Structure formats: C-alpha cells, structure tokens
Amino acid sequence: MQANVHKLLNQQINKEFYSAYLYLDFSNYFEDAGLDGFANWYKIQAQEERDHAMLFYQYLQNENQKVTLEAIPKPDKVFTCHLDVLKAGLEHEEYVTALINEIYAAAYEVKDFRTMQFLDWFVKEQGEEETNAHDLITKMELFGSDPKSLYMLNQELAARVYTAPSLVL
C-alpha cells in the first residue's frame, strides 16, 4: 500500500472515533434538554461511527498494514439551541465526506483499486448521512417551534434502532 494512502486510512480511524465522541456529545445535549428521541438518534450515530472506525481498522489489518491509534480530541462546541446541534451534525458529515473523497483521490492517483473498492461503500454511506442530516434540519425548521410537533418528531427519532453496517471486507 502506498504510504500516503496508508497514512490517510490510518488517520480516518481517529476521525471516525472522534465522530462517535461528537455524536455522543450531541446525545448528551439532547438528553439534558429532555429530548430522548433526539438523544437516541445521536447515540445510534455514535455507534455507526465507531463501527466505521473498526472497518478502517480491520481493512488496514487485512492489508497487513500497521494501525497507529492516536488520541481522540474532546468535542468542544457549546450549543444554545437544538437547530445549531443539527446544523453542526450536517457540517460534520460534509467534513467526513471530504475526508473520504481525499482518501479516494489518493488511492485513485496510485491505482490502488482495492482501497477504492473498499471506499465505495463509504462514499455511498456519506451520501445517506448528509441526506439524513439535511432532512432532520428541515423537519426541525418546519416543526421544531410547535411543542406538539416537536414531541412527534422526538417520538419518530426514538424509534430508530441500530443496524450494523453490511460491508464485507
């Protein structure tokens, strides 16, 4: 594996674990606000991000590449309203999409087709993540100011259950 591709894949493990921390922080915000459905949504997001990190971890191991774990920074944003949390979620997903695209471009440059194939699932996943984040913002903008509608949206998010990724390495 080319050194830069290896470095970017290894860094992505840390970025995915950071994403899990960030979403747990979002979950804490909503738990404190009494919105357990929103808290559930972000707990599941955190589980997904943790699993994404492990997929990168396993891929590097399967490719006989050294995995180096780094410190995970503490999320440092302070939020004053629910919509700001959702917007930060979208912003973060767009950031992760850019990271995946950067790794893909590096793999493409050196014709690392195996890594490109591995990343195909993440490219699709990021599209879904951005769509979900957009949809949540739209729903909050439409319904968040009405307590009954916010209650129903919270109930909808409470019904979300975790499904492990189906990527075969």
Q: What is the DSSP letter of 168?
A: -
**Res 134: pLDDT:** 98
Under the banding of pLDDT at 50, 70 and 90, the label for residue 166 is: confident
**Res 165: pLDDT:** 79
CATH number for the domain whose boundaries are 3-158 = 1.20.1260.10
pLDDT in tens, 109-141: 999 999 999 999 999 999 999 999 999 999 999
Fill in the amino acid letter for 18: Y
pLDDT in tens, 17-56: 999 999 999 999 999 999 999 999 999 999 999 999 999 9
- Beta strand ranges found along the chain (DSSP E): none
CA distance linking residue 63 with residue 25, whole number of Å: 33
Q: Above 90 in pLDDT, residue 167? A: no
